[in-house]
Amino acid sequence: MIDLKEYRTNPQKFIKGAADKGHTIDRASFDKLDEHVRTSKQKVEELKAQRNTFTEEVDALRKASKPFDHLIQKVKGFKEEIQQLDAQIEQSQKEFDAIVLTIPSPAADDVPVGSSDAENVVVEEIGTKASFDFEPKPHREILEAK
Protein backbone atom coordinates (compact mmCIF):
# COMPACT_ATOMS: atom_id res chain seq x y z
CA MET A 1 0.00 0.00 0.00
CA ILE A 2 1.23 3.49 -0.76
CA ASP A 3 2.02 6.16 1.82
CA LEU A 4 -1.18 8.24 1.83
CA LYS A 5 0.50 11.24 3.42
CA GLU A 6 3.09 11.27 0.64
CA TYR A 7 0.37 10.83 -2.01
CA ARG A 8 -1.59 13.76 -0.61
CA THR A 9 1.46 16.03 -0.68
CA ASN A 10 2.81 14.90 -4.05
CA PRO A 11 0.12 13.18 -6.15
CA GLN A 12 1.92 13.89 -9.43
CA LYS A 13 4.73 11.55 -8.38
CA PHE A 14 2.23 8.70 -8.08
CA ILE A 15 0.30 9.65 -11.21
CA LYS A 16 3.52 9.65 -13.24
CA GLY A 17 4.69 6.43 -11.56
CA ALA A 18 1.41 4.74 -12.43
CA ALA A 19 1.57 6.00 -16.02
CA ASP A 20 5.13 4.66 -16.31
CA LYS A 21 3.74 1.25 -15.35
CA GLY A 22 0.82 1.52 -17.78
CA HIS A 23 -1.83 2.29 -15.15
CA THR A 24 -4.08 5.24 -14.49
CA ILE A 25 -5.25 6.56 -11.13
CA ASP A 26 -8.88 7.49 -10.57
CA ARG A 27 -7.84 10.70 -8.87
CA ALA A 28 -11.33 12.24 -8.79
CA SER A 29 -12.75 9.27 -6.88
CA PHE A 30 -9.70 9.12 -4.63
CA ASP A 31 -9.95 12.81 -3.74
CA LYS A 32 -13.73 12.68 -3.23
CA LEU A 33 -13.66 9.60 -0.98
CA ASP A 34 -10.57 10.78 0.88
CA GLU A 35 -12.22 14.09 1.70
CA HIS A 36 -15.51 12.41 2.65
CA VAL A 37 -13.87 9.89 4.98
CA ARG A 38 -11.64 12.46 6.64
CA THR A 39 -14.40 15.05 7.20
CA SER A 40 -16.87 12.39 8.35
CA LYS A 41 -14.39 11.05 10.89
CA GLN A 42 -13.82 14.57 12.15
CA LYS A 43 -17.59 15.13 12.41
CA VAL A 44 -17.96 11.89 14.41
CA GLU A 45 -15.25 13.01 16.82
CA GLU A 46 -16.99 16.37 17.28
CA LEU A 47 -20.33 14.65 17.91
CA LYS A 48 -18.73 12.31 20.44
CA ALA A 49 -17.24 15.30 22.26
CA GLN A 50 -20.65 17.01 22.35
CA ARG A 51 -22.31 13.80 23.51
CA ASN A 52 -19.75 13.48 26.30
CA THR A 53 -20.40 17.07 27.38
CA PHE A 54 -24.14 16.44 27.58
CA THR A 55 -23.55 13.14 29.38
CA GLU A 56 -21.51 14.99 32.00
CA GLU A 57 -24.34 17.51 32.36
CA VAL A 58 -26.85 14.69 32.81
CA ASP A 59 -24.66 13.17 35.54
CA ALA A 60 -24.35 16.52 37.28
CA LEU A 61 -28.13 17.11 37.14
CA ARG A 62 -28.80 13.56 38.31
CA LYS A 63 -26.51 14.06 41.32
CA ALA A 64 -28.23 17.38 42.08
CA SER A 65 -31.65 15.67 41.78
CA LYS A 66 -32.69 18.05 39.02
CA PRO A 67 -34.62 17.14 35.85
CA PHE A 68 -32.48 15.96 32.96
CA ASP A 69 -34.91 14.21 30.58
CA HIS A 70 -34.52 16.93 27.94
CA LEU A 71 -30.77 16.21 27.78
CA ILE A 72 -31.29 12.46 27.50
CA GLN A 73 -33.04 13.00 24.15
CA LYS A 74 -30.10 15.06 22.89
CA VAL A 75 -27.64 12.33 23.93
CA LYS A 76 -29.75 9.72 22.12
CA GLY A 77 -29.82 11.96 19.04
CA PHE A 78 -26.03 12.16 19.05
CA LYS A 79 -25.80 8.39 19.41
CA GLU A 80 -28.05 7.81 16.39
CA GLU A 81 -26.22 10.37 14.26
CA ILE A 82 -22.86 8.84 15.18
CA GLN A 83 -24.10 5.37 14.23
CA GLN A 84 -25.34 6.62 10.84
CA LEU A 85 -22.07 8.40 10.13
CA ASP A 86 -20.05 5.35 11.20
CA ALA A 87 -21.97 3.21 8.71
CA GLN A 88 -21.32 5.74 5.94
CA ILE A 89 -17.65 5.95 6.87
CA GLU A 90 -17.31 2.17 6.81
CA GLN A 91 -18.74 1.97 3.28
CA SER A 92 -16.71 4.93 2.01
CA GLN A 93 -13.56 3.54 3.64
CA LYS A 94 -14.01 0.23 1.80
CA GLU A 95 -14.38 2.05 -1.52
CA PHE A 96 -11.41 4.28 -0.70
CA ASP A 97 -9.21 1.31 0.26
CA ALA A 98 -10.13 -0.44 -3.00
CA ILE A 99 -8.91 2.59 -4.97
CA VAL A 100 -5.74 2.93 -2.90
CA LEU A 101 -4.87 -0.71 -3.58
CA THR A 102 -4.90 0.01 -7.34
CA ILE A 103 -2.26 2.75 -7.03
CA PRO A 104 1.18 1.28 -7.68
CA SER A 105 4.24 2.50 -5.86
CA PRO A 106 6.36 4.67 -8.11
CA ALA A 107 9.58 3.11 -9.32
CA ALA A 108 12.91 4.57 -8.25
CA ASP A 109 14.20 7.41 -10.41
CA ASP A 110 17.01 5.28 -11.86
CA VAL A 111 14.62 2.59 -13.14
CA PRO A 112 14.30 2.79 -16.92
CA VAL A 113 10.76 3.10 -18.28
CA GLY A 114 9.76 0.69 -21.01
CA SER A 115 6.57 -0.04 -22.87
CA SER A 116 6.81 -3.83 -22.45
CA ASP A 117 8.71 -6.57 -20.63
CA ALA A 118 10.97 -6.92 -23.67
CA GLU A 119 12.45 -3.51 -22.84
CA ASN A 120 13.46 -4.57 -19.33
CA VAL A 121 17.14 -4.14 -18.63
CA VAL A 122 19.15 -6.71 -16.66
CA VAL A 123 21.24 -4.68 -14.26
CA GLU A 124 23.01 -7.52 -12.48
CA GLU A 125 22.97 -11.31 -12.28
CA ILE A 126 24.26 -12.96 -9.15
CA GLY A 127 25.39 -16.56 -9.26
CA THR A 128 24.77 -18.96 -12.10
CA LYS A 129 21.40 -19.92 -13.45
CA ALA A 130 20.28 -23.43 -12.67
CA SER A 131 20.13 -25.82 -15.58
CA PHE A 132 17.80 -28.78 -15.65
CA ASP A 133 17.58 -31.86 -17.86
CA PHE A 134 13.83 -31.29 -18.01
CA GLU A 135 11.58 -28.32 -18.61
CA PRO A 136 10.58 -26.81 -15.26
CA LYS A 137 6.89 -26.24 -14.66
CA PRO A 138 5.64 -22.73 -14.03
CA HIS A 139 4.94 -22.08 -10.35
CA ARG A 140 1.22 -21.75 -11.06
CA GLU A 141 1.01 -25.33 -12.37
CA ILE A 142 2.88 -26.63 -9.33
CA LEU A 143 0.51 -24.84 -6.96
CA GLU A 144 -2.58 -26.06 -8.82
CA ALA A 145 -1.34 -29.65 -8.71
CA LYS A 146 -1.37 -29.72 -4.89
Q: CB neighbours (10 Å) of residue 36?
A: 16
Can you list the alpha helix ranges (DSSP code H) found in the chain?
4-9, 11-20, 27-63, 69-100, 139-145
Phi-psi region of 103 (alpha: psi -120 to 50; beta: other; left: phi over 0): beta
Where residue 65 falls (left for φ over 0; alpha for ψ -120 to 50; beta otherwise) is left
- Along the 146 residues of the chain, how does pLDDT read in single tens digits? 899 999 999 999 999 999 988 889 999 999 999 999 999 999 999 999 999 998 888 888 888 888 888 888 888 888 999 999 999 999 999 999 999 999 999 988 888 888 777 888 888 889 998 889 999 999 999 999 87
Query: Domains plus CATH for the chain?
Result: 1-104 (1.10.287.40)
- 0.85 surpassed by pTM: no
